[in-house]
Amino acid sequence: MKRVRAIETIVEELTDELVVCNLGFPSRELYALHDRETHFYMLGSMGLASSIGLGISLSQPRKVVVLDGDGSLLMNLGSLATIANHAPENYLLIVLDNRCYGSTGCQPTATAKAADLAAIASGAGVRGVKTASTVGGIRFHVHGSGVLIITVDPGNADVPIVDCEPVEIRSRFVREIKRRLRRR
């Protein structure tokens, strides 16, 4: 299964959860499949999606789903220990593991050789780490919390860049969070 199919499956299952997405092609694919004000496309900083999402989940009650990449998470492994330490019920980190830096030419990452992100997450203290490699597996696990590692094939969809300025992405996302908080 290609990453874009995994993202499509995830988006089909979600309703109004907050979504923080890894930079590069994952954000482009998500944007092309379905753009929502609840999506935060991380357009620049590699490795920070899991931490940004964790902070959001700890500061408000709505569920946060992070779409991260293997390369990006490998750059910020400490995030897993912090996720385990806080273990918010309203937080799910999904890692789309294509075993390469897919957005920049598919240079192999450490997961192509030996690194096992599910084992690393468990070792960091995350309870009940889930894995999936099929549409059915994704549908089943996407409604949970913690960490879900999805194995996908390399390859980027032929989709345009995210046609939305970073400032606009941020302000509409924050507006959406505040709107919900006011309604409580």
Residues lying near Mg ion in the complex (CB under 5 A): 69-71, 98, 102
Buried b / exposed e over 86-120, threshold 16 CB at 10 Å, is eebebbbbbbbbbbbbbbeeeeebebeeeeebbeb
Q: Of residues 18-57, which lie at the interface with ligand TPP (CB under 6 A)?
A: 22-26, 46
Nearer to Mg ion, 96 or 177 (CB): 96
Residues 6+ apart with CB under 8 A from 136: none
Question: What is residue 171's three-state secondary structure?
Answer: helix
> Binding of ligand TPP at residue 98 (CB under 6 A)?
yes
- Kindly report the number of other CB atoms within 10 A of residue 27's CB atom: 25
- Given Mg ion, ligand TPP, none, residue 24, with its beta carbon under 5 to 8 Å by kind, binds ligand TPP
Which residue in the set 53, 102, 137, 146 belongs to the binding site for ligand TPP (CB under 6 A)? 102
Q: Between 24 and 146, whose beta carbon lies closer to Mg ion?
A: 24
Residue 139 phi/psi, 5° resolution?
Answer: -55, -35
- Contact between 101 and ligand TPP by CB under 6 A: the answer reads yes
Binding site for ligand TPP (CB under 6 A): 3, 22-26, 46, 69-72, 96, 98, 100-104, 109
